[in-house]
């Protein structure tokens, strides 16, 4: 009963914070002028409260899954018996999450169309528009993911399956954030990336904190230590992403005290800072062995109030207004048309994709940290691998953040340059950098029977059934090559290009499909299955052939590829789209063959080295046992020969 009252107190605290923040920022519902479509107060407040409830439910589910798989003691390779009760809670909460998201999606649709409750429930309205509208579709996707989680959790007891459910939950949290009101403000890429990182970071921090409070009968130092590690990284990501997101929504520092939006952001900053101070105090209390429950409850309350204010911020008009462009095409793009391309503008231009840029920076930092640990432990590491890895990251950043990335939005030829560098060239260097091997050597090898270490997680993922499936050569070949035909010769390409989210997903697909192919063919990291060298050579030869036919098909296309998109955003200097299409196909043909030939050479060299190592091993064995294997082999044939003569 006491826990129930405590939960209701926290819930109403968050709802009260939402109400006060909306009222303070003047974003709460107000009647519109006569003649304008108005969804009404009921729809407006249903939208706000359902958004808050779905956010809180997703945070709770994320926290329970993280606690069961990463914080609480486990029975490798499964969760502990106590974790099963947490999974039952996840199942019930996921159903509530799905229902809340469904209500939120309908309210979002009604609010966008300006329809009241009776109008939105009229026959055919919801079925016609709920999937067509991006804002309601993103929430509906979360509802589908929540339903999937509610079903799969009944079959999940292994740590690997918990990690998969955790990924699905994170995807459900991210989906609505892809359609925030920051899309047309400031730097859209930075606004989108910071919103995603911010949402996931605060979910981990608060979700794990609530799980530690509710799921631990006796809070051990190990549990607090593991939670503190998650909270520390979450706070760092939250701080950086929060300031980045504020930058994309505000005109300057003066907005913090001159505007309602800025003042609300300042309140949220103060609340998160207070929560961080409370967390530090919690660690000191733990060191003294005193009662820490009141500090945990205080921190949870502060964070839930901050979340209520954060949900209100989504509906509060930001102070930064989008600058009008000279044409409708530039409004669609979100930036002014670039000048006619030149070598300098393509190579040295700047148009960052912050998600991939931030990911590359994190990957580079982790690689350097691994090198530092190896050096500290006096473990040698080939310099060539480090050089290869950072060349690969540099190519990724150039392809997604240099001038070519801006031209790729308006010209198909530039898009193909970006595609080839992302999928054909960068993956080879990244794979040759052997990041998995580096991580396995750098991470400590000691084993805790109650907790799977980072090193053990890597090994579990590498040798999982999922990894064995996706590294099947036929599946890899299909993803790397045949998928191109389905992307470029259907309406999928134009659809993906028409949204920033779709464009980023396409870039990630190019990169990771290329990494997967290179990993199978020339990878030196541990792999879930051993592919013979003859099969690797055959795989590369088939890929070369399929890719060549693809490039020729692009060049011979009677209509420009992706014309449904490029026709809307065509600059004045691009006068012949079909010629640009031919140029893109020609680049795919000419440049695409170079990396694959390089792969053939690498496979041949690795095969030769492997055969030489086998020969050297056999020679050493022969020296040790006086060629016993060869003698036994000859004696077997000698006996067979004598038997044949005697017969």
Q: Distance of alpha carbon 166 from its chain centroid, rounded?
A: 12
Per the domain annotation, does 329 fall within a domain?
no
pLDDT reading at 539 higher than 90: yes
Please state, for a pLDDT cut of 70, what percent of the chain lies above it: 91
Residue 509's pLDDT band, with cuts at 50, 70 and 90, is very high
Q: Are residues 302 and 359 in the same domain?
A: no
Return the C-alpha torsion angle 302, 306, 307, 310, nearest 10. 180
Neighbours of 602 (CB within 10 A): 18
Question: What is the residue range of 279's domain?
Answer: 1-27+184-321
* pLDDT the model gives residue 327: 86
What is the average pLDDT across 27-50? 88
Per the domain annotation, does 513 fall within a domain?
yes
Task: Count structural domains, the chain.
Answer: 3
The continuous run of DSSP H or E covering 78 comes out as strand 78-79
Per the domain annotation, does 391 fall within a domain?
yes
Residue 185's pLDDT band, with cuts at 50, 70 and 90, is very low
Per the domain annotation, does 377 fall within a domain?
yes
pLDDT reading at 622 higher than 70: no
Q: Are residues 577 and 559 in the same domain?
A: yes
Residue 221's pLDDT band, with cuts at 50, 70 and 90, is confident
Per the domain annotation, does 225 fall within a domain?
yes
pTM higher than the cut 0.85: yes
Q: Are residues 352 and 489 in the same domain?
A: yes
Plot region of 114 (φ>0 → left; ψ -120 to 50 → alpha; else → beta): left
Residue 222's pLDDT band, with cuts at 50, 70 and 90, is confident
Q: Which of 179, 198, 232 is the last residue of a domain?
A: 179
In sign, the C-alpha dihedral spanning 399, 400, 404, 408 is positive
pLDDT reading at 647 higher than 60: no
Spatial separation of the C-alpha atoms in residues 93 and 60, rounded to whole Å? 8
Write out pLDDT tens, residues 338-394: 999 999 999 999 999 999 999 999 999 999 999 999 999 999 999 999 999 999 999
Q: Which ranges of 377-464 would DSSP assign to H, the alpha helix?
A: 383-401, 403-407, 412-420, 426-432, 435-442, 454-462
Q: Are residues 497 and 382 in the same domain?
A: yes
What is the average pLDDT across 391-411? 96
- Arithmetic mean of pLDDT over the chain: 89
* pLDDT the model gives residue 7: 80
**Considering only CA atoms, which of 87, 142, 111 is closest in space to residue 29?**
111
Q: Are residues 521 and 387 in the same domain?
A: yes
What is the average pLDDT across 517-542? 93
Write out pLDDT tens, residues 65-88: 999 999 888 887 888 877 788 899
Per the domain annotation, does 621 fall within a domain?
no
Residue 228's pLDDT band, with cuts at 50, 70 and 90, is confident
Write out pLDDT tens, residues 312-346: 998 888 888 777 788 888 888 888 899 999 999 99
Sorted by sequence, the CB contacts under 8 Å of residue 96 that are 6+ apart come out as: 57
* pLDDT the model gives residue 343: 93
* pLDDT the model gives residue 630: 61
Token pair, residue 362, equals 């994190």
Per the domain annotation, does 622 fall within a domain?
no
* pLDDT the model gives residue 182: 47
Q: Are residues 312 and 390 in the same domain?
A: no
What is the average pLDDT across 141-166? 94
Distances, alpha carbon 342 to alpha carbons 143, 214, 291, 338, 346, in Å? 47, 60, 66, 11, 6
Token pair, residue 197, equals 């990182």
Per the domain annotation, does 260 fall within a domain?
yes
Q: Are residues 546 and 570 in the same domain?
A: yes
Q: What is the DSSP string of 205-226?
A: HHHHHHHHHHH-SS--HHHHHH
Q: Are residues 383 and 464 in the same domain?
A: yes
Q: Are residues 135 and 3 in the same domain?
A: no
Beta bridge partners of 448: 451
Q: Are residues 273 and 361 in the same domain?
A: no
**CB distance 510 to 353 below 8 Å:** no
Q: Which of 134, 153, 179 is the last residue of a domain?
A: 179
What's the maximum distance between 2 C-alpha atoms anywhere in the chain? Answer: 113
Q: Are residues 240 and 362 in the same domain?
A: no
- Rounded to 5 degrees, what are φ and ψ at 595? -60, -35
Write out pLDDT tens, residues 81-125: 777 888 999 999 999 999 999 999 999 999 999 999 889 988 889
Q: Which range (83-87, 157-161, 170-174) has the least confidence?
A: 83-87
Spatial separation of the C-alpha atoms in residues 581 and 554, rounded to whole Å? 7
Q: Are residues 20 and 61 in the same domain?
A: no
Token pair, residue 255, equals 């907005």
pLDDT reading at 184 higher than 50: no
């Amino acid at each position: 009963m006491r826990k129930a009252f405590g939960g209701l107190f926290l819930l109403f605290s968050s709802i009260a914070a939402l109400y006060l923040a909306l009222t303070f920022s003047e974003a709460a519902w107000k009647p519109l002028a006569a003649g304008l479509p108005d969804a009404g107060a009921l729809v407006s407040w249903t939208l706000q409260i359902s958004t808050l409830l779905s956010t809180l439910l997703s945070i709770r589910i994320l926290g329970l899954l993280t606690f069961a798989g990463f914080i609480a003691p486990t029975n490798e390779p499964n969760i502990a018996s106590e974790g099963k009760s947490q999974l039952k809670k996840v199942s019930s909460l996921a159903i509530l999450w799905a229902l809340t998201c469904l209500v939120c999606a309908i309210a979002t649709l009604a609010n966008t169309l300006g329809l009241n409750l009776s109008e939105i429930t009229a026959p055919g309205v919801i079925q016609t528009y709920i999937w067509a509208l991006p804002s309601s579709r993103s929430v509906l996707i979360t509802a589908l993911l929540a339903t999937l989680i509610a079903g799969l959790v009944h079959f999940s007891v292994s740590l690997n399956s918990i990690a998969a459910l955790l990924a699905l939950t994170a995807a459900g949290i991210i989906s609505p954030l892809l359609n925030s009101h920051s899309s047309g403000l400031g730097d859209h890429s930075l606004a989108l990336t910071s919103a995603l990182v911010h949402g996931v970071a605060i979910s981990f921090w608060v979700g794990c904190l609530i799980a530690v409070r509710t799921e631990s009968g006796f809070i051990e130092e190990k549990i607090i230590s593991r939670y503190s590690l998650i909270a520390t990284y979450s706070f760092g990501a939250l701080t950086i992403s929060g300031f980045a997101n504020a930058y994309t929504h505000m005109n300057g520092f003066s907005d913090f005290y001159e505007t309602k939006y800025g003042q609300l952001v300042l309140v949220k900053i103060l609340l998160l800072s207070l929560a961080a101070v409370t967390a530090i105090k919690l660690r000191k209390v733990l060191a003294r062995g005193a009662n820490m429950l009141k500090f945990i409850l205080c921190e949870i309350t502060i964070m839930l109030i901050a979340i209520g204010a954060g949900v209100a911020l989504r509906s509060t008009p930001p102070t930064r207004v989008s600058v009008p462009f000279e044409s409708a095409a530039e409004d669609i793009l979100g930036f002014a048309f670039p000048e006619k391309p030149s070598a300098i503008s393509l190579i040295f231009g700047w148009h960052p994709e912050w998600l991939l840029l931030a990911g590359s920076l994190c990957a580079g930092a982790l690689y350097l940290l691994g090198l530092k640990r190896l050096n500290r432990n006096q473990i040698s590491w080939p310099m060539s691998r480090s050089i290869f890895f950072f060349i690969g990251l540099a190519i990724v950043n150039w392809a997604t953040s240099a001038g070519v990335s801006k031209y790729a939005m308006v010209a198909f030829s530039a898009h193909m340059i970006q595609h080839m560098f992302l999928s054909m060239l960068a993956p080879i260097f990244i794979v040759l950098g052997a990041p998995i091997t580096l991580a396995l050597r750098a991470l400590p090898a000691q084993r805790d029977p109650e907790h799977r270490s980072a090193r053990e997680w890597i090994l579990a993922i590498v040798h999982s059934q999922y990894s064995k499936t996706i590294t099947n050569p036929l599946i890899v070949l299909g993803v790397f090559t045949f998928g191109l035909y389905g992307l470029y010769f259907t309406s999928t390409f134009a659809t993906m290009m028409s949204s920033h989210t779709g464009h980023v997903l396409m870039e990630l697909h190019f990169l990771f499909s290329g990494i997967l192919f290179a990993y199978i063919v020339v990878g030196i990291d541990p792999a879930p299955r051993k592919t013979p060298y003859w099969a690797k050579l055959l795989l590369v030869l088939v890929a070369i052939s399929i890719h060549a036919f693809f490039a020729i098909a692009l060049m011979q296309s009677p209509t420009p590829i992706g014309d449904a998109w490029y026709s809307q955003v065509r600059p004045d200097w691009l006068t012949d789209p079909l010629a640009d299409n031919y140029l893109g196909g020609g680049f795919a043909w000419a440049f695409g063959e170079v990396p694959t030939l390089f792969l053939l050479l690498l496979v041949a060299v690795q095969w030769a080295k492997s055969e030489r190592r086998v020969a050297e091993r056999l020679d050493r064995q022969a020296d040790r046992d006086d060629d016993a294997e060869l003698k036994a082999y000859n004696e077997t044939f000698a006996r067979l020969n004598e038997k044949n003569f005697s017969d």
